[in-house]
Amino acid sequence: MTPTEQEIARYRAALAELMKRCLERIRSMEVPADAPPLQGGPPHE
Amino acid sequence: MNEPWQLGIAAAGRAIAGRALTSSALVRSLLERADHIDGDVKAWVRLARDSALREAARLDAEAAAGRLRGPLHGVPLAIKDIVYTAGIETNVGSTLLAGFVPAEDAPLVRRLREAGAIVLGKSAMTEFAAMDPAPTRNPWNLEHTPGGSSSGSAAAVAACLAPGAIGTQTAGSIIRPASYCGVVGLKPTYDAVERAGVFPCAWSMDHVGPMARSVEDVALLYATLAGDHKHPAGEIDMRIGVADRYFYERADHDTRRAFEETVKTLTAAGARLVQVKLPPSFEAGVDAGIVTMYAEMAAVHRQRFSTQRERYGWKLACLLDAGGEVSAVDYLRAQQVRRIAGAELSSVLSQIQCLMTPSTPAPAPKGLGATGDWTHNLPFSSSGHPALTVPVSLSGAGLPISVQLAARHGGEERLFHCGSMIERLVNFSHKARCR
């Protein structure tokens, strides 16, 4: 099914909003400067 | 006896081992079933008729000679079309990979074959395991989505087109379709099942796991898939956690009712349901997962997308554009947040047997243009903790509703223990779609 231009624009806008919210949350979280990032995937205990 | 196509994995394996059934008869029965109903369900993208029958004959000869490989001997499976299968075309749900025939099996397929399982065919999936749907329909109601991205795997198991299947999950692609189709599905601990030979969606969040119609059958498949990575259960107790936020508040009326009934049933059976406070970083861990997933997807497709953009589905194209805009600094911040949030969630999960949530906010939505909501599944894809979905009830419209169980890393056996208990107590009938 071919989407309309409006559908695509709505989807893009929703995605942009989602990414904005996600980035704001992770940027505003207090993270120690020396906290290492995951490398390759979540660790096992 | 039931028709062969109605049998689950353990039952089929026992019948073959006991010489009450041949693998060839089982494969033929499933192929006839596919001819009969898959025109409606569209779970299969490709059946491996000839190779499956050849392999079944070989395994029957072994069984006749008294050489049984184990509980999967002669049992046919559906393999998601994202997993490489030697000599069987593998398209990952995209026309971009039309004609791609892997020379070798993925190691996980090799393990299954060595254990006596047969590749019956490749199951349909969303394009590159993202948002553009497969043509698959939900066997419980053909007007509803089966979920995705492992759409065909879940639908094949639910419709008795295969006794078990392999799926993959990056956000919610095992738990959600299994839940929507009323089957049992396991998203194992990150890295517990080897991902080599599985086309990547987002490397640090991709998981491979089994689906079947019982916890016992899923556990059988997992034992073969995980091999040495399988952990012992440790001390089993009856403490089941219920989260203080995030899950229940997102659920619709029918899902809340089913969840509350399951809590009551478990409590009456002697389980200790305890409210657990999710860590403050929980939501940030989820959002970090979203940033990670879209950025990694953009990286996976960067080269192909830059030259063949017009051949991508429109939703995936939008996702890849969004993921391509994530900076390296934000990507690394997401990885820092995932590590912190995952460790804090581990600390909560270490105090209970498992955490129980509704598997999805609502039953399978109507329509085939989208594959539903992965909100309840993404937390454990981001953190890498194992999750199991078990069907418990039907909605007013007759669609399955399930609960999701999550445990500490390596806690699959705990999930099987809790899942089996729930399965026994609620007695959900899978047979409704297998007549």
Question: In this complex, which of B315, B333, B383 lies closest to A26 when CB atoms are compared?
Answer: B333
Question: In this complex, which of B315, B334, B340 lies closest to A11 when CB atoms are compared?
Answer: B315
- pLDDT confidence of residue A39: 74
Cβ–Cβ of A22/B288 closer than 8 Å? yes
Q: Which pLDDT tens digit goes with each residue over A1-23?
A: 689 999 999 999 999 999 999 99
Q: How far is A21 from chain B (nearest CA, A)?
A: 8
Cβ–Cβ of B204/A44 closer than 8 Å? no
Angle between helices B314-324 and A5-28 (to 10 degrees): 30
Question: In this complex, which of B283, B314, B333 lies closest to A8 when CB atoms are compared?
Answer: B314
State how far the Cα of B344 lies from the Cα of B339, in Å rounded to an integer. 9
- pLDDT confidence of residue B334: 97
Residue of chain B whose alpha carbon sits nearest to that of A3: B314
Would you say the C-alpha torsion B174, B175, B178, B181 has a positive or negative sign? negative
Cβ–Cβ of B337/A26 closer than 8 Å? yes
- pLDDT confidence of residue B344: 97
Residue of chain B whose alpha carbon sits nearest to that of A44: B409
Q: Which has the higher per-residue pLDDT, A45 or B298? A: B298
- Give B-chain residues touching A40 at CB under 8 angstroms: 203-204
Q: Which pLDDT tens digit goes with each residue over B321-343?
A: 999 999 999 999 999 999 999 99
- pLDDT confidence of residue B230: 65
Cβ–Cβ of A37/B339 closer than 8 Å? yes
User: Strand runs (DSSP E) across B244-330, as ranges?
Assistant: 272-276
Looking at residue B189, the DSSP 8-state letter turns out to be S
Interface pTM (ipTM) of the complex? 0.91
Query: Which of A2, A10, A26 has the highest number of chain B CBs within 10 A, making it the mutation to test binding with B?
Result: A26
Catalytic-role residue among B173, B204, B214, B393:
B173
Q: How far is A40 from chain B (nearest CA, A)?
A: 6
Q: Alpha carbon B298 to chain centroid distance? A: 23
User: Which tokens belong to B374?
Assistant: 């992965």
State how far the Cα of B163 lies from the Cα of B157, in Å rounded to an integer. 6
Closest CA to B73 of B60, B88, B86, B54: B60
Summary mean pLDDT of chain B: 96
Residue of chain A whose alpha carbon sits nearest to that of B324: A19
- pLDDT confidence of residue B267: 96
B173 given a catalytic annotation: yes
- Give B-chain residues touching A31 at CB under 8 angstroms: 333, 336-337, 340
User: Which tokens belong to B110?
Assistant: 């090799």
Over residues B340-361, the mean pLDDT reads 97
Strands B76-80 and B239-243: unpaired
Question: In this complex, which of B189, B337, B350 lies closest to A44 when CB atoms are compared?
Answer: B189
Distances in Å between the alpha carbon of B62 and those of B53, B54, B56, B65, B425?
14, 13, 10, 5, 38
The residue assigned the tokens 């942009």 is A16
Q: What domains can you pick out in chain B, each with its CATH number?
A: 4-229 (3.90.1300.10), 282-337 (no CATH)
Express as a percent the part of chain B with pLDDT over 70.
97
Please check whether residue B218 is in contact with residue B210, taking contact to mean a CB–CB distance below 8 angstroms.
yes
Please check whether residue B132 is in contact with residue B313, taking contact to mean a CB–CB distance below 8 angstroms.
yes
Question: In this complex, which of B204, B330, B332 lies closest to A40 when CB atoms are compared?
Answer: B204
Over the Cα atoms of chain B, what is R_g? 20
Q: Which pLDDT tens digit goes with each residue over B65-124?
A: 999 999 999 999 999 999 999 999 999 999 999 999 999 999 999 999 999 999 999 999
The residue assigned the tokens 């243009």 is B369
- Give B-chain residues touching A36 at CB under 8 angstroms: 336, 339
The one-letter code for the residue type at B167 is G
Q: Which pLDDT tens digit goes with each residue over B230-283?
A: 666 666 778 999 999 999 999 999 999 999 999 999 999 999 999 999 999 999
Please check whether residue B259 is in contact with residue B292, taking contact to mean a CB–CB distance below 8 angstroms.
no
Q: Which has the higher per-residue pLDDT, B153 or A37? A: B153
B350 given a catalytic annotation: no
- Give A-chain residues touching B409 at CB under 8 angstroms: 42-45
Q: Alpha carbon B289 to chain centroid distance? A: 19
Cβ–Cβ of A22/B290 closer than 8 Å? yes
Express as a percent the part of chain B with pLDDT over 90.
95
Angle between helices B253-268 and B412-426 (to 10 degrees): 90
B169: left (phi > 0), else alpha (psi -120 to 50), else beta?
A: beta
Q: Does B431 score more than 60 pLDDT?
A: no
Angle between helices B107-114 and B215-226 (to 10 degrees): 110
Q: Does B1 score more than 70 pLDDT?
A: no
Please check whether residue B40 is in contact with residue B137, taking contact to mean a CB–CB distance below 8 angstroms.
yes
- pLDDT confidence of residue B398: 95
Q: Does B5 score more than 60 pLDDT?
A: yes
Residue B115 burial (CB count, 10 A) = 19
The one-letter code for the residue type at B356 is M
List the Cα angle B425/B427/B429 in 5-degree steps: 165
Work out the pLDDT band at B288, boundaries 50, 70, 90. Answer: very high
B123 given a catalytic annotation: no
